[in-house]
Amino acid sequence: MKALVTGGAGFIGGHLTDRLVADGYQVRVLDNLSNQPRPTYDSARYVDFVLGDVRDKDACKYALRGVDVVFHLAALTSVQRSILDPVSCHDVNVTGTLNILMASREARAQRVVLASSSSVYGDSPELPKRETMTPQPVSPYALSKLTGEYYAQQFYQHYALETVSLRYFNVFGAGQNPKCDYAAVIPRFVTAARSGDRPVIFGDGEQTRDFIAVQNVVDATVLAGESRSAPGRTYNIGSGEGLSLNRLVEEIGGIVGRRIQPVYGPPRRGDIRHSVADIEAAERELRWGPRVSVARALEELLGPARMLRAA
């Protein structure tokens, strides 16, 4: 089985690429290295790397040659960046997705697994978030991800291309970049804990997120590429539990052995208040469930901090 991973040089993509290689897939990666100077995966000698951009139709066609299944993870992933630059967000997340779907159809690929986002639910007070809820995107990023899902559905309905959309919740783990302007909350908090700095929380810290370890996300993504029941479906991929940012800081402080005092800033545009996934559909149809807890994944991330403190 030959797989293409778009965005395979990045955080989630790198973990997925290593897993696919370990599972015996022939793996090709399409990435423009815009977020990092080199691929993050460890299995480079087993990977056919294509330097290219999903906005480039020819690059997409080239990367799809002989591919059976596509894992489409390439995206601009920041809510805040999408508000500042909605055009780039649309070009990558919508046009890029359409290019991949078109190239997959032309190459006669069997399946495309699309990385979508929990942000499509918006700020509805209803919890947990179920796939049957009406999406209410409140940022260009969320809208772009929802549009990608709709395009995937169209290709499934009209062109017999097997498509699956996975609504990732707040993914974290090793290899996440804490230094970019739009870094996710956990790598920023972990970096602050290691350095002794005070992490910044935008808002009062009582907003909740459904954090999920990247290992669990990779498990679900691989299953979505293989499951007979997955085509045409959309699944939430989260832990099924909400955690406030204040509680997250306390958890990290407990691991490093000191109390961490965050700095509170004004809420950011496009941020939602509460988010937690209903994962029953993925559990039932993909035979998937989180095997790595948030607590365990945090301890793995902060292991070096504990060692430094002991020294």
- Give residue 311's pLDDT: 27
Residue 222 has, within 13 A of its CA and on its CB side, a CA count of 22
- Give residue 180's pLDDT: 62
Mean pLDDT of 233-249: 97
- Give residue 307's pLDDT: 33
- Give residue 146's pLDDT: 98
Residue 183's pLDDT band (cuts 50, 70, 90) = low
What H or E segment, with its residue span, contains residue 274?
Answer: none
Q: Taking 80 as the threshold, does the pLDDT of residue 181 lie above it?
A: no
Contact 80, 123 (CB under 8 A): no
pTM of the model: 0.93
Mean pLDDT of 291-303: 92
Q: Taking 70 as the threshold, does the pLDDT of residue 117 lie above it?
A: yes
- Give residue 116's pLDDT: 98
Residue 298 CA to residue 304 CA, distance in Å, equals 11
Q: C-alpha angle with apex 118: 83 to 174, nearest 5 degrees?
A: 90
Residue 147's pLDDT band (cuts 50, 70, 90) = very high
Mean pLDDT of 112-141: 96
Q: Taking 90 as the threshold, does the pLDDT of residue 231 lie above it?
A: yes
Rg of the chain taking only CA atoms, in angstroms: 19
Mean pLDDT of 35-47: 91
Q: Is 141 a catalytic residue?
A: yes
Q: Taking 90 as the threshold, does the pLDDT of residue 309 lie above it?
A: no
**What residues does 50 pair with on adjacent strands?**
30
Q: Taking 70 as the threshold, does the pLDDT of residue 304 lie above it?
A: no
Contact 113, 101 (CB under 8 A): no
Residue 22 CA to residue 186 CA, distance in Å, equals 27
Mean residue pLDDT across the chain = 93
Residue 126's pLDDT band (cuts 50, 70, 90) = very high
Name which of 62-71, 138-147, 172-181 the model is least confident about: 172-181
Mean pLDDT of 65-77: 97
Residue 191 CA to residue 178 CA, distance in Å, equals 7
Instruction: Sheet containing 234-237: give its strands across.
Output: 47-51, 26-31, 2-6, 69-72, 111-117, 162-168, 234-237
Going by their DSSP bridges, the two strands 234-237 and 111-117 should be labelled as unpaired
- Give residue 182's pLDDT: 52
Q: Taking 90 as the threshold, does the pLDDT of residue 161 lie above it?
A: yes
Residue 218 CA to residue 16 CA, distance in Å, equals 5
- Give residue 310's pLDDT: 30
Q: Tell me the H-state helices in the chain.
A: 11-22, 57-63, 79-84, 86-90, 96-106, 140-159, 185-195, 214-226, 245-256, 280-285, 294-301, 303-310
**What residues does 69 pair with on adjacent strands?**
3, 111
Contact 266, 232 (CB under 8 A): no
Contact 153, 140 (CB under 8 A): no
Mean pLDDT of 249-273: 91
Q: Taking 60 as the threshold, does the pLDDT of residue 123 lie above it?
A: yes
Contact 145, 122 (CB under 8 A): no
Q: C-alpha angle with apex 293: 112 to 216, nearest 5 degrees?
A: 10
Name which of 109-118, 169-178, 243-252 the model is least confident about: 169-178
- Give residue 179's pLDDT: 65
Going by their DSSP bridges, the two strands 26-31 and 2-6 should be labelled as parallel
Residue 216's pLDDT band (cuts 50, 70, 90) = very high
* Phi, psi (degrees; rounded to nearest 5) at 136: -140, 65
Q: Domains plus CATH for the chain?
A: 2-169+214-237 (3.40.50.720), 172-209+240-310 (3.90.25.10)
DSSP string, 131-151: TTSPP---SHHHHHHHHHHHH
Contact 219, 271 (CB under 8 A): no
- Give residue 35's pLDDT: 83
Active-site position among 141, 151, 168, 235: 141
